[in-house]
C-alpha cells in the first residue's frame, strides 16, 4: 500500500475516497465511465429487505450550493441485489464493497444484514439509521440513542463483518448517538447523512418536492459536517468516516484532519460522474503542497496542534 492508503476496520484501502450510498448505484453503472477499482471502495445504494418503489415524484429540488432529494430508498430488495447486482459488480470491481442497509424494524435490519454478510464481496455493512426521506424507519432509529443502539446490537448479533452506523445530523447532540452505537458494538460510524430541508415553488406556492421535505446535501453543508466529524472523533474510539459536501481533494484532507479515517463523496458524483476519480488523482499533488507524506498522518491531526 502507498502513501494514500488507510485501514478501515481492519481492511486496507488503497485510498480513503468512497462514493456515498445513493450516488453511485450498485457500481456497475459507473464502470462505463472509468475503472472503479481505483476507488478505496464505495457504498452501494441503500438496500432494504423487500423491494421499494420509493417516494412519489418530484423527488429532487435544486438549491444554492446543493440539492434536496426525497428518493425514499427505491431499491429492488436484498434478494435481487444478491442475485443480480453483486454478480454484475464482480465483473468490474475486485475489491470489498460497502453494503448500505436500511429497514423499518430492528428485525428487518438484522435479516437484511445477515443475508449480505454471507456475500464474499461485501466487506462492511453500513447501517443507515439516518435517512430523512422515509416514514416509520431510518431516521427514527437514528435520533434516539437507545433506538440506535438496539439496531446496532441486533445487526452485530446477526453478522460477522464490520458494522458501520450511519448517523443523522438532525439531532441535538450527535455524539450521544455515536457513543450509543459504539457501546452497542459498532466497528465504526459514518457521518453526516443529509440535513432536512425544503423548497417552495413561487408559481404554484406549494412545496417543490412531493414529500414536502427531503435531504439537503452538497457543498453548503460541508462546514456542518466537518464540525460534527470533529465532535464525534473526540467522543468515540472507533473509526469515523466523514461525509457531507465533500467535492475536492482539499475537502478530503480537511475531513481527515478533523478525525475521519476515510471520506465519502456524495452529491459531487451526481454533478460529475468523474468526481471521485478526479479527487483521487488530485490527492498526491495537494499532499505535496501541504507537506503531507502519508494520508494516515492526517487522521485527527487538527486535534493535536
- pLDDT tens digits along 155-179: 999 999 999 999 999 999 999 999 9
Residue 276 located in a structural domain: yes
Residue 111 located in a structural domain: yes
Model confidence pLDDT, tens digit, residues 192-208: 999 999 999 999 999 99
Residue 235 located in a structural domain: yes
> Distance between CA 96 and CA 83 in Å, rounded?
17
Model confidence pLDDT, tens digit, residues 201-227: 999 999 999 999 999 999 999 999 999
Catalytic residue status for 181: no
Inter-CA distances, 176 with 167, 237, 256, 277, Å: 11, 13, 21, 35
Residue 101 domain boundaries: 6-303
Residue 29 located in a structural domain: yes
For residue 123, pLDDT over 80 is answered with yes
Owner of C-alpha cell 458501520 = 164
> Distance between CA 230 and CA 178 in Å, rounded?
12
Instruction: Quickly state the pLDDT bin for 131 (edges 50, 70, 90).
Output: low
Instruction: Quickly state the pLDDT bin for 232 (edges 50, 70, 90).
Output: very high
Residue 166 located in a structural domain: yes
Q: What is the pLDDT of residue 257?
A: 98
Q: Is 14 exposed, middle or buried (0-12, 13-18, 19+ CB in 10 A)?
A: middle
Active-site residue (options: 131, 181, 276, 298) = 131
Q: What is the pLDDT of residue 264?
A: 98
User: What's the DSSP call for residue 75?
Assistant: B
Per the structure, how many domains does the chain have?
A: 1
For residue 137, pLDDT over 60 is answered with no
Which of residues 275 and 130 earns the better pLDDT score? 275
Q: What is the pLDDT of residue 155?
A: 97
Inter-CA distances, 250 with 55, 174, 282, Å: 35, 25, 9
CB distance 254 to 246 below 8 Å: no
Q: What is the pLDDT of residue 104?
A: 87
* Residue 142's CATH number: 3.20.20.70
pTM of the full predicted structure? Answer: 0.95
Instruction: Quickly state the pLDDT bin for 305 (edges 50, 70, 90).
Output: low
Q: What is the pLDDT of residue 139?
A: 56
Model confidence pLDDT, tens digit, residues 86-99: 999 999 999 999 99
Which of residues 246 and 139 earns the better pLDDT score? 246
Residue 1 located in a structural domain: no
Q: What is the pLDDT of residue 134?
A: 47
Residue 48 located in a structural domain: yes
For residue 133, pLDDT over 70 is answered with no
Q: What is the pLDDT of residue 140?
A: 66
Sheet with strand 66-69: strands edge to edge: 60-63, 66-69, 214-217, 195-197
Q: What is the pLDDT of residue 304?
A: 79
Please give the grid coordinates belonging to residue 226. Answer: 466537518
Which of residues 137 and 71 earns the better pLDDT score? 71
Q: How many CB atoms lie within 10 A of CB 134?
A: 23
Model confidence pLDDT, tens digit, residues 74-89: 999 999 999 999 999 9
Residue 165 located in a structural domain: yes
For residue 24, pLDDT over 60 is answered with yes
Amino acid at each position: 500500500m502507498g502513501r494514500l492508503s488507510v485501514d478501515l476496520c481492519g481492511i486496507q484501502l488503497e485510498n480513503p475516497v468512497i462514493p456515498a450510498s445513493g450516488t453511485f448505484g450498485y457500481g456497475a453503472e459507473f464502470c462505463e465511465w472509468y475503472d472503479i477499482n481505483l476507488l478505496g471502495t464505495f457504498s452501494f445504494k441503500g438496500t432494504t429487505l423487500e423491494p421499494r418503489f420509493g417516494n412519489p415524484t418530484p423527488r429532487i429540488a435544486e438549491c444554492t450550493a446543493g440539492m434536496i432529494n426525497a428518493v425514499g430508498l427505491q431499491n429492488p430488495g436484498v434478494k435481487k441485489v444478491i442475485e443480480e447486482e453483486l454478480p454484475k459488480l464482480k465483473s468490474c470491481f475486485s475489491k470489498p464493497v460497502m453494503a448500505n442497509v436500511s429497514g423499518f424494524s430492528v428485525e428487518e435490519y438484522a435479516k437484511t444484514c445477515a443475508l449480505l454478510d454471507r456475500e464474499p464481496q461485501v466487506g462492511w455493512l453500513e447501517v443507515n439509521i439516518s435517512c430523512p426521506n422515509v416514514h416509520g424507519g431510518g431516521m427514527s432509529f437514528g435520533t434516539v440513542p437507545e433506538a440506535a443502539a438496539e439496531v446496532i446490537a441486533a445487526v452485530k448479533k446477526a453478522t460477522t463483518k464490520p458494522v458501520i452506523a450511519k448517523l443523522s445530523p438532525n439531532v441535538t447532540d450527535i455524539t450521544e448517538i455515536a457513543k450509543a452505537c459504539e457501546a452497542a458494538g459498532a466497528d465504526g460510524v459514518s457521518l453526516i447523512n443529509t440535513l432536512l430541508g425544503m423548497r417552495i415553488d413561487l408559481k404554484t406556492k406549494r412545496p417543490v418536492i412531493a414529500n414536502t421535505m427531503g435531504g439537503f446535501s452538497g457543498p453548503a453543508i460541508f462546514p456542518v459536517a466537518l464540525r460534527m466529524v470533529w465532535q464525534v472523533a473526540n467522543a468515540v474510539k472507533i473509526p469515523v468516516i466523514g461525509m457531507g459536501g465533500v467535492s475536492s481533494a482539499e475537502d478530503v484532507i480537511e475531513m481527515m484532519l478533523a478525525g475521519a479515517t476515510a471520506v465519502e463523496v456524495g452529491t459531487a458524483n451526481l454533478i460529475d460522474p468523474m468526481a471521485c476519480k478526479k479527487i483521487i488523482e488530485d490527492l498526491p499533488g495537494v499532499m505535496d503542497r501541504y507537506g503531507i507524506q502519508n494520508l494516515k498522518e492526517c487522521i485527527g491531526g487538527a486535534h493535536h496542534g
